[in-house]
Amino acid sequence: MEAVLETDQLGKRYGRQWALRHCSLRLPGGRIGALVGPNGAGKSTLLHLAVGLLRPDAGAVRLFGQSPYDNPSALADIGFVAQDTPLYRDFTAAELITTGGRLNRRWDATLARTRLADLGIPPNKPVGKLSGGQRAQVALALAMAKRPRLLLLDEPVASLDPLARREFLQTLMGSVADAGTTVLLSSHLLADVERVCDYLVVLHSAEVRLSGPVEDLVAGHRRLIGPRHDGGSIPGVADVVRASHTDRQSTLLVRTDGPVADPRWSVHDVALEDVILAYLADGDDAPASHEDWGVPA
């Protein structure tokens, strides 16, 4: 399947600090992807690079096989909702829809008006006076009115209450189903990820730690409980992602490359949340060095 978004060793640096590094991923078309990671992992940087708001210091990013930079034809196929859903707060929703029609060559004002009417959002009230959930829905409606092939959402529901978050995600899923849009949704709310996403990218410490279809990733990991592990190989285990130990017993979350038939180990299925948390906990940042501070050791 065609890669809608693809990066190759993508990197962005602020001063001497890498916000994103060695980022290689491939998001196939037709997916609802989750971009997961702690604060500072590089999620917003990746999305801003993808839409051309930032330029990389290393590597490359491609949308539909093209660079997004100085490329209006590629950017016309992208909808983007940034953190905090920035909108012209003195404009009404109706005015924003009209303005969008003047700025975008492919614009479905009827779609935006219908979706906001279905949600009961007043058309003539300044968006700055709407609730956070309503503003998020306006931003989503505007992004979908572009009829994008790719929709990028940067923590769009982080500040919403549970009911508003559920309504937003339901609207998102309905929009995607109707239009066949590919989505990459940045979030740290794992319950939301499990509810709506079928593709996963885990970022940690500015690097991609895991990516792939959710179903395949869950199927490819197991929890093993058995005798204390000395670090040796276990048949059927490609990699130990996370380990905890007592004096006599080890519990391992592992990536498998075949059946684990060793009778000393009991094998258990894992949930998506287990997999995500294991990779987020793996490889914590090293302590700051003298070099980081710019002083001699």
The residue ranges of every structural domain in the chain are 3-212, 220-281
Q: What are the tokens at 139?
A: 């931003």
Name the band, by pLDDT with cuts 50, 70 and 90, for residue 1: low
Q: 297: which 2 tokens?
A: 């050791």
- One of 3.40.190.10, 3.30.590.20, 3.40.50.300, 3.30.420.40 is the CATH number of 3-212, namely 3.40.50.300
Residue type, 77: D
Which residue type occupies 189?
Answer: L
Specify the pTM.
0.86
Distance CA 185, CA 83 (A): 11
Instruction: Pull the structure tokens for residue 254.
Output: 């592992």
| Section 9-26 average pLDDT | 94
Give the single-character DSSP code of 22.
E
The percentage of residues in the chain with a pLDDT greater than 70, rounded to a whole number, is 94
pLDDT value at residue 282: 57
Q: What is the mean pLDDT of residues 22-42?
A: 92
Give CA separation, 51 vs 74, 75, 154, 178, 188, in Å.
9, 7, 12, 23, 21
What is the C-alpha to C-alpha distance for residues 220 and 235, in angstroms, rounded to an integer? 14
Report CA-CA distances (Å) from 205 to 30, 162, 188, 190, 201.
Answer: 28, 29, 15, 18, 13
- pLDDT interval class at 230 (50, 70, 90): confident
Buried/exposed 15-50: b ≥16 CB within 10 Å, e otherwise:
eeebbbbebebbbeeebbbbbbbeeebbbbbbbbbb
Place of tokens 């058995």: 226
pLDDT digits 0-9 by tens, 126-168: 999 999 889 989 999 999 999 999 999 998 877 778 888 888 8
Q: What is the mean pLDDT of the chain?
A: 89
| pLDDT above 90: percentage of residues in the chain | 67
Mean local confidence (pLDDT), 44-71: 93
290 has a pLDDT exceeding 70? no
CA atoms within 13 Å, Cβ hemisphere of 104:
23
Q: How does pLDDT run across 239-258, given as a tens digit for each residue?
A: 999 999 999 999 999 999 99
Identify the weakest region by mean pLDDT among 71-80, 147-156, 168-177, 202-211: 168-177
Q: Which range has the worst mean pLDDT, 87-91, 173-177, 267-271, 284-288?
A: 284-288
CA 5, CA 25: separation in Å to the nearest integer? Answer: 8
Pairing between strand 266-268 and 58-63?
unpaired
Coil, strand or helix at 188 = coil
286 within 8 A of 259, measured Cβ to Cβ: no
**Residue 238 confidence (pLDDT):** 96
User: What is residue 66's DSSP assignment?
Assistant: B
